[in-house]
Amino acid sequence: MAIVEVLKYDGKKDVLAWKYPSQELGTWTQVIVNESQEAVFVKEGKILDVLGPGRHTLSTENIPILSKLINLPFGGRTPFTAEVWFINRAHIIDVKWGTPSPIQLQDPKYKVFIPVRSFGQFGVQINDAKSFLTKIVGTLNIFDQTELVNYFRGLLVSKIKDNISTYLIEKQISILEINAFINEISDGLKEEIQTEMSKYGINVVNFYVTSIDTPEEDTSVKKLKDALAKKAEMDIVGFNYTQERSFDTLEGAAKNEGSIGSNIMGAGIGLGMGVNMGGMVTEQMKDVTKNISISNNEERRCSNCNAQLSGNQKFCSECGKPVDDICSNCGAILRKGQKFCPECGKSQIVICKKCNKEIEKGEKFCSNCGEKVEN
């Protein structure tokens, strides 16, 4: 029977645990444990002993627990079988992590669902070789950084999602502003993940969130960023969304032939009107917008029974169903296909919470994924 003479491991730095290939050992075999390692003896699934840094000879004097369990005789070279694990006790500080797929979160500031990705790295050290070996490594021959991240992936994603959501809700900020709190989020995650990993003999040396971002190609992200860019433009010019829509309405009416366009021109309001015409123009714009809205309302019909609606009617006189083309926020009358309320600026766009696709107003189910629309 072969008897191994020298046992040691000088492999890759990212390896946390490595099992010596041969189990055929013998007394007087030399075990060399590096400064940042521990050697663990296992027989029949039970840990026999743990050796610290240095050169060790397998003998009844140096390994009393081993001698007791294996019944090694005194003197001579005696063969026996046992597993020898080398545990890396050094700090490993470049373990990369990332969310495998975007996490769907609702932006508390703009009330839309946006996919969020997060990336970073953390550092660990094995501080309890027995717990680490028995609770995580199991029957594997090698356990490295990749295995560590795979093992704790569910924990990482869950904690990251909870922490980011908590900051969004508590601070009442947009997902697009979350990176201002990235250091606080990193510290909070370190404490929570340390609590979990310590159960497996692992100490979390550090934990960093390096980025929290949103996929630029996502439709909901594009819409939100376009809306914010438009708002910034209007803030710089000096008017709000309601005024912007009024300007568009009047300009379109002035271009059309007919009584409405003639009335606008007769009132002295043409395409050249702007934000400098003062309060009188603002009041005139409100009157004209109201007239246009009433004119459109003459063609309004109930989406449930198709009965004709008139004036500012908000409930159908035939079936009693609420009219679809009113603002869900302030109750103002909307034109067909209008995306935002001209009175309060509230978005009328309905987004599917499951697939983030826009849903037609009045639809009960998403045409893309079949998800039921929540009222």
Is this prediction's pTM over 0.75? no
Task: Write out pLDDT tens, residues 211-245.
Answer: 998 888 888 888 888 877 777 776 776 655 555 55
Token readout for 368 is 């893309």
Per residue of the chain (375 residues), give pLDDT as tens.
Answer: 445 578 999 888 899 999 999 888 777 788 999 999 999 988 877 888 888 999 988 765 666 566 555 555 545 566 778 889 999 999 998 899 988 888 888 888 888 888 999 999 999 999 999 999 999 988 789 999 999 999 999 898 899 888 888 888 888 888 888 888 899 999 999 999 999 999 999 999 999 999 998 888 888 888 888 877 777 776 776 655 555 555 556 555 555 544 444 444 444 444 444 444 445 445 545 544 444 444 444 467 777 787 777 766 767 777 877 766 777 777 777 766 677 777 777 776 777 878 877 776 667 777 777 777 765
Q: Which residue has the tokens 């003998």?
A: 59
Share of the chain above pLDDT 90, in %: 24
Nearest C-alpha neighbor of 84 from the set 129, 42, 51: 42
Task: Name every residue whose Cβ is closer than 8 Å to that of residue 293 and which is 6 or more positions away in sequence.
Answer: 333, 335
CB atoms within 10 A of CB 332: 18
Residue (of 348, 335, 330) closest to 291 by Cα position: 335
Q: Tens of pLDDT along 37-89?
A: 999 988 877 888 888 999 988 765 666 566 555 555 545 566 778 889 999 99
